Each structure stands twice: as structure tokens, then as C-alpha cells.
Chain A
Amino acid sequence: MKTIISLKNVEKYFNSLHALKNITFDVNEGEFVSIIGPSGCGKTTLLKIIGGLTNFSKGSVTIESGSVESALQGRKFGFVFQKPVLLPWRNVLENIQLPLEILDRRNASEIPSKLLKIVGLEKFENFYPNELSGGMQQRVSIARALSFGPSILLMDEPFGSLDEITRDRLNLELLRIWREESSTISSITFVTHSVPESVFMSDKVIVLSARPGAVQQIVDIDLPRPRTSEIKYSKKYLELVQCIRKILK
């Protein structure tokens, strides 16, 4: 199995604040890995370190056996932030086109409309962000992250501000999009607050301790794929949820 993301003994200080301590883990090809931990333990910081948006103080991070910078320059990362961060002066279609414009790939005009269909917003391409619900906005931001064909999807509590019904539906949709034939995504690293969500989505859950954030345990989720809502009633699922809850206590 190919290793996509590899962190070794990563430390992060914000001046005197020790944010992350001795972080070591891998994300492999085809894996969905969740990072879970108490508020303020450094999940966002960790994701930004992986994606090259924040530097780290010690240790090493390699992306597909190269440096973070070269992966960033090679546009390998698709980021989905906690907030949708849509540009209010651009409509849905134009927001999805933004990365293509920046990469000067404007000729790839069939991609945005294809993505709109995949995220179920084909009727809304001319709508402006302030005319959409929170769930729809987050779908646009996912489509935007996928539009330029990155191989590594980094998501920071993408559904954290949504109600449970919307969140469950988007979880299933994300798994479906990931499995689409046209999908370029080889791995997803997913930050979440929710234990059930992490179990339902992942192959591996990385449990962080409170500040300084350190890897407390890595829990393998050996539930079958494709995941369906019925899995949530299985004994295995419930055991895994309970197991992670105990670690977090």
C-alpha cells in the first residue's frame, strides 16, 4: 500500500504554547482517516501543517514521499474548511471555477457543471452564496475543492455546523463522491468533533489528547464498505463508538 501522508514526530509551538506533541501517523492510498479530539487540541493546526498552510517546529512531514511544498505547488491538496468560505460576489458556478481560473485551466469548462450534478446543485449554478442554506454552501465548497483534480482531500469539520439530518446525508454523499469513477481523490483526512461520524466514515481514527495534542491511540475501523446507514445499528459499530468515547474520556 502506498503511503500518501506521513508524519514523524511532528511538534508545533505557537511561541510558548505547545500545540502539538510528537505526532506520528500515516495516511495510505485509498484510506479515509479521521482526526478526533477535544476542542483546542490542535486538529485544525495539524490539518494545516499537512496541507502546507502552517509551518511546524520539529519533525518531518512527507507527502507521496516528497515535501509538503512541492505537493502544494503541484496542487495536490483540496481543502474544505469548517466554514464554506465562498466568495459572496461569485455565484455557485463561479465559485467552483475559482481554482480552475487560478490554475489557468479555464478550458476545463465541463468540470464545474459535472461537479454541480455530483453534489446535487445543478439547478443552483446561478445562485449566490447568500441565497443558499448552510448545507448547500458546504456542498459548493466540496465541489470547489474537487474541481481542479487534487489527490488529497483535507477536510476540517466540514459538516460541524450542520444539523444532524443534513450531516448524515452529506456524509453518505461524500463517501459516494469519493467512490465515483471520475474521482481523483486517493485519500481523505477528515477532522471531526463527532465520534459516530468518525466511526461511520473512516478506515482509521486518530484520537488526539487535550493540549498539547498528542496521538493517544489509533483505532482501526474494520467495518465493511460501502457504508450504509444500516451499519449504525451493527454491534461492531456501536462497540467502536464506545471504544473511542472511552479513550476520549
Chain B
Amino acid sequence: MYKKNIKIKLKRTLTPVFVSLGVLVIWEFIVSITNYPEYLLPRPIVIFSALIANFNSLLYHTGITLFEAMVGFVIANILAFFIAVIFTHSKTIEAGFHPFVIALQTTPIIAMAPLLVLWFGSDIGSKIAAAALVSFFPTIVNGVKGLETIDEEALDLFKSFSATRRQIFAKLRLPNSLPFFFQALKTSAALSVIGAIVGEFVGANRGIGYIILTSTYHMETVKMFTAIIMSAVAGMLFFGIVSIIEKKIVFWQKF
């Protein structure tokens, strides 16, 4: 039984590794035999050697972007949490603000980004704002859902103890909503990295978005690929951190 589990785990981790390696080998092979121009599609080996050669600089820019994303994420989610709590306490307020939330949510971040630069300057302020703006909505939508989706019988149970509204909130609604919140936090972790990069596209002198943009201007496709890889790593890293915290806090949930 125990041995079998290890086998399954090994299979789960090794399969994607082998698949990715296979894709890279085929890519390398096809590009080299067709002599495809490097400025369109560089070979994986070239990309990886560039990645290693410029690692310190890439790490610096990735760190900037990740910092913007995380600060925006934290601000937005604290705000979203409190707004979700207010919404669940007052249906009137929720009804009043709901169209506003939807309108803001459906406006593409790329359309708002120039305005954010105008408001928050071309330094990291506007990137934090962009990251915050995109990571705000999943939390508010899921948060309201989590605070309101409670078992009728659990509510009856609390009523049978003559529990106060505040006790019901602290001991039932809040813990009950945590799985919903974390579901949203994972989504908004990934989105906040996107928001920060979009913010950098509009105007920046550092960050991974800045690297992607400048390498386009100079046709430095290899550099662009390394930056794309780093942006993916940043997104996955942030998502992974949130997932680990989720497993610790929402331990009762089956994953």
C-alpha cells in the first residue's frame, strides 16, 4: 500500500517533467534542422544559456514585479475582505454597489493602466495599483459567496444556542468562508502578476514587463523569452506560496 503510494506520487511528478523535456528536445531539433531565424524562435539551449548568463539582472527585475504584485495583492485583498463583510451585512449596500463592481471588473486593465500612471506616477505606485485592481474582484465575489453559503442546519444549531449575530459571524460565517477566500486568493495571486506587468508595459524603467517591452524594440527575442519564462516563474511562485498557506489554514478541506 505504502509502496504503491510512492509509485503514484513519483509518476505524477515525473510525467510532466518527461513531457516538458520531450517538447524541448523536439523544439530544439526542429529549429536546428529548419534553420529557423533566431529572432523569431530561438532554440531552447540558447534561451537557457542566456537565462543563466543574465540571471542576476533577471532576478532583480522579477523581484521588482513580484514586489509590486504582492503589495497590490495584499492591499486589494484586505480591502476586498472588508467590503465583502459589509456586503453580507447589508443587502442594500450590496445592491447599490453591485453594478459598479461589475462595471469595474469588466473594464480591461489595459484600458485603465494609462490612467493609473496619471494618478499614481510612473514609478511602482501605478503598477501596485494595477495589480491591486485586478486581484480585487475574485476576492470580493467569492468572499461574499463564502460568507453567505452556510448550511441551514448549522445556522439552526447556532440559533438553538441563542448565539448573537457577532458570534455567528466569528464562529460560523468566517471560518466557513475561508475555503472560498483561498480559492479567490489563488486566482488573484496569478492575476496580480499580470496586473503588475501590464502596468509596466505602460511606462517603467524596471520590472519584467519593462524587459519584455524593451527587448521587443531591439528585436532581442532571446532576452524576451528569458523574461517571459521569469514572469511565468513569478506567477507560479506566488500561486504556490498562496497554495501552501491555504493547505495550512484550510486544513479540513479535501484538496
Contacts and interface: CB of A to CB of B under 8 A. Distances in A.
B160 A102 contact: no
B252 A130 contact: yes
Interface in B134-181: 151, 153-154, 156-163, 167, 171-172, 175, 178
Given A53-B159, A128-B252, A85 B151 contact: yes
Contact of A81 (B156, B172, B252): B156
B161 to A, nearest CB: 5
A27 to B, nearest CB: 17
Given A75-B162, A89-B252, A102 B171 contact: yes
Interface in B52-101: none
B153 A51 contact: no
Given A99-B161, A102-B161, A88 B252 contact: yes
A65 B20 CA distance: 75
A48 B157 CA distance: 11
Contacts of A79: 156-157, 160
B156 A48 contact: yes
B244 to A, nearest CB: 18
A73 B163 CA distance: 9
Interface residues of B, number: 20
A79 B159 CA distance: 10
Interface string A74-102: 01011101110101110000000011011
Interface in B175-203: 175, 178
- Please classify how large the interface on chain A is, using the bins under 10, 10 to 19, 20 to 34, 35 or more: 20 to 34
Nearest to A54: B156
Contacts of B178: 89
Contacts, number: 53
Contacts of B253: 88
B172 A87 contact: yes
A103 interface: yes
B195 to A, nearest CB: 32
Contact of A148 (B157, B161, B167, B252): B161
Contacts of B163: 102
A73 B162 contact: yes
B161 A81 contact: no
B153 A81 contact: yes
A72 B156 CA distance: 12
A12 B40 CA distance: 75
Interface in A87-143: 87-89, 98-99, 101-103, 128-130
Contact of B157 (A81, A89, A129): A81
B155 to A, nearest CB: 9
Of B153, B158, B253, most buried by chain A (CB within 10 Å of CB) is: B153
A82 B156 CA distance: 12
Pick from B156, B253, B254 the residue with the most CB of A within 10 Å. B156
Contacts of A78: 160
Contacts of A87: 154, 171-172, 175
Contact of A102 (B167, B175, B252): B167
Given A79-B156, A88-B253, A101-B171, 7 more contacts: A48-B156, A72-B162, A81-B153, A85-B153, A98-B161, A102-B162, A102-B167
26 contacts: A52-B160, A53-B156, A72-B160, A72-B162, A75-B161, A79-B160, A81-B153, A81-B156, A81-B157, A82-B153, A85-B151, A85-B154, A87-B154, A87-B175, A88-B252, A89-B178, A89-B251, A89-B252, A98-B161, A98-B171, A99-B161, A102-B158, A102-B162, A102-B171, A130-B254, A148-B161
Interface of B: 151, 153-154, 156-163, 167, 171-172, 175, 178, 251-254
3 A-B pairs with least C-beta separation: A88-B252, A79-B160, A102-B161
